[in-house]
Amino acid sequence: MLAIASPGSLVTLAGAALSVIGWVGYATSNPNLSLPTIFYGIPILLGGLALKSSELPPAELLPAQADAVALREEASSKTLRKLVKDVTRWRYGQKAHLESSLEALKLWDEDQPPQLISVAERAVDGRYAVAMRFRCEGVPFARWQEKQDRLGRFFDRGLRAELSEPSSGEVLLELLPAAG
């Protein structure tokens, strides 16, 4: 997603535009134009800059498999659908996606928190599954492996987690339907 399309950017641009219009109105001695646009433009600009300074961009949503799209609407995949929707939207005031979940699982490092890079929807054994790729230099892969049994159950009943290390400093967490 383009960074210019983030809500923080849009609010900042609107505030800047109103402020410029207000200053042009002031310079041309047009008080009907300058007063309201400066009065509203500067606070909107400052609010947009505040949003921009604390924004977390959405994780990349990789193209879904055709059979995963069909399975997405099943009742059993409701929690995973919410998870995908949550991590693929702009967030504000957080260091990383799934921050509270990773803290609860003790997979959090305050200095180098795991960063969600991408999310993929998959179909596994005729059921909906989600794969998430994290960049996590601060949390070793061994600690993720210690929590593997708990990871699937943490997100929803009937899920199991599979972990792999696609490259150094990255973890691929796959939330798959439990066998049976």
Sign of the CA dihedral running 93, 98, 102, 104: positive
The residue whose two tokens read 């994290």 is: 134
| CATH code of the domain containing 133 | 3.30.565
pLDDT above 70 covers what percent of the chain? 95
Asked if the model's pLDDT at residue 19 lies above 70, the reply is yes
Structural domains in the chain (count): 2
Q: Are 81 and 72 in contact (CB under 8 A)?
A: yes
| pTM given for the model | 0.80
Instruction: Quote the DSSP letter at residue 2.
Output: -
Are both 73 and 159 inside the same structural domain?
A: yes
Are both 144 and 122 inside the same structural domain?
A: yes
| Higher-scoring residue by pLDDT: 163, 35 | 163
The residue whose two tokens read 């159950």 is: 153
Task: Supply the range of the domain harboring residue 20.
Answer: 3-53
Are both 90 and 49 inside the same structural domain?
A: no
Are both 92 and 20 inside the same structural domain?
A: no
Helix (H, G, I), strand (E, B) or coil at 91: strand
Task: Write out pLDDT tens, residues 77-89.
Answer: 778 888 889 999 8
